[in-house]
Structure 1
Amino acid sequence: MDHAKKGMTLFELLIVMIIVGIVYSIGLFAIKKEKAVSSSIKASELKSALTALDHSKKIRLICDNSCHECRVLDTRDSVVASIRLSSDGPLQRYGFDRLGELRPLEKTVTNIDNKFSQECFEFTLYPDGTSSPLILKDNASYYLYTPLQGEKPFITDSAETLRLHLFDELRYPLKSDRYYVQQP
């Protein structure tokens, strides 16, 4: 008798499904790895780019001394991604002193695997969407990231507008510290 084969056996079907699953998982891993390698973003898109990364715990963005080449670290201090910040000029980290004057800040000291180094800045994003405060300035604009703000920063070209946005002088007068005011 000549039996004509009309379909696949259960064993053959199982082998095909295993091969397809292996090929799929290899392809998916390669795509995820490619996404995490490197990207270029604008300073105004910093928090939204970090939010797009898959994270269930806090992640840290640490930028080198040029403030343009950055790496994203997870809680184990493993590099998850590399990011290049593009801007209209050199980036500088700024901060307010206790009297409300905007000043350029020195490099920050970071600790990665018990090795200390100086970097331009560090920006931390927590799982609930809050972040560490950060003020960056390029040639034309200030970018203000506050902890409870959304993904978009407050952007202005005026230091005075930035100060008024952060401080309410009616409740917290910055220039009236009695301890430091010189007595006549």
Structure 2
Amino acid sequence: MNSTNPYLTAKASARKKTDSPVALVCAIFAAATASSTVKMFSQGKTLAGVMGILIFAALATPIFRILRRAYRRACAHRIAGVLLPLTEESLTFERLGTVLSSGNALEQLQSLIGKGYLQNLRIDLENRTVGLYIPEGALVQWVCASCGAKNRARRGGPMRCKYCDQPRGQ
């Protein structure tokens, strides 16, 4: 997916194969620990119950991290998918919020760029714009068969004429 979308990094495209088994094993042991911790507290064994809480927290941490990484990856894919068909070189913060249908789009974008999930985006706080940079060869120029207009679109994005709205090749 990284080759077709210039905004996604390898980190956003790659999925660890061990995530599901690790989360499943940790969830099973965390459920057993929670059950035995409740039993320890009901029997009056406070120290054993506290140890059970600590073990539960240690088992819940990998699950939380795996879910957080999956959420960030999904957000990066959603944002990159929305930005791909755009042909503008920059967006204002207001337009970015409308395009992404989110009130906290800028904060989310900054977070995903900082964590290494998105690339080729430059946030200019002074001018309140987001620059969309695409690598060389990512734009395709073509002539509409219906109206003869010259069009420019991103490789991998929808190819529709911006004048007559016909798809490419029709």
Normalised TM-score (structure 1): 0.29
User: Where is the strand percentage greater, Structure 1 or Structure 2?
Assistant: 1
Normalised TM-score (structure 2): 0.31
RCO (CA 8 Å, sep 6+): is it higher in 1 or 2? 2
User: Where is the helix percentage greater, Structure 1 or Structure 2?
Assistant: 2
